[in-house]
Structure 1
Amino acid sequence: MRIVLATHNPHKVAELQQIVAQARPDLEVVGYDGPEPVEDGVTFAENALIKARAAAAHTGLAALADDSGICVDVLGGSPGVFSAYWAGQKKDAAANLELLLDQLRDIADPHRTAHFTSTIALVLPDGREQVVEGRWPGRLAHAAAGAGGFGYDPIFVPDGQPAGEERSVGEFTSEEKQAQSHRARAFAELVPLLAAL
Structure 2
Amino acid sequence: MNTVLIATANKGKAREFETLFTPLGYQIKTLLDYPDAIDVEETGTTFEENAVLKAETISKQYNVMTIADDSGLIVDALNGEPGVYSARYAGEEKDDEANIDKVLEKLKDVPKDKRTAHFHCTLAVARPGDKTITVTGQCEGTITKERIGTNGFGYDPIFWVEDKKRTLAQLDQDEKNEISHRGNAIKLLAIMLPTLVK
TM-score (norm 1): 0.91
2:139 counterpart of 1:140: no
2:161 counterpart of 1:167: no
Unaligned runs of 5+ in 2: none
Q: CA–CA distance in 2 between the matches of 1:147 and 1:48?
A: 28
Q: CA–CA distance in 1 between the matches of 2:150 and 2:61?
A: 35
Q: CA–CA distance in 1 between the matches of 2:18 and 2:52?
A: 22
1:17-166 matches, within 5 Å, as 17-26=14-23, 27-32=26-31, 33=34, 34-161=37-164, 166=165
Q: What is the DSSP-based 3-state SS (H/G/I as helix, E as strand, rest coil) of the residue aligned with 1:63? A: strand
- Residue 189 of structure 2 aligns with an amino acid whose one-letter code is L
Q: How much does 1:57 deviate?
A: 1.1
Q: CA–CA distance in 2 between the matches of 1:70 and 1:159?
A: 16
- State the partner residue of 2:176: 177
Q: CA–CA distance in 2 between the matches of 1:63 and 1:84?
A: 22
Conserved 8 A contact 2:22-2:28: no
- State the partner residue of 1:186: 185
Q: CA–CA distance in 1 between the matches of 2:100 and 2:28?
A: 30
Identity fraction in percent: 33
Q: How much does 1:193 deviate?
A: 2.5
Q: How much does 1:22 deviate?
A: 3.0
Conserved 8 A contact 2:119-2:181: yes
Q: What is the DSSP-based 3-state SS (H/G/I as helix, E as strand, rest coil) of the residue aligned with 1:25? A: helix
Query: Considering only aligned residues, what root-mean-square deviation do their CA atoms show, in Å?
Result: 1.3
Once the two structures are superposed, what CA deviation does each residue of 1:22-66 show, in whole Å capped at 9, x if it has no partner? 333333210123011111000000000011011101111100000
Q: CA–CA distance in 1 between the matches of 2:79 and 2:62?
A: 38
TM-score (norm 2): 0.91
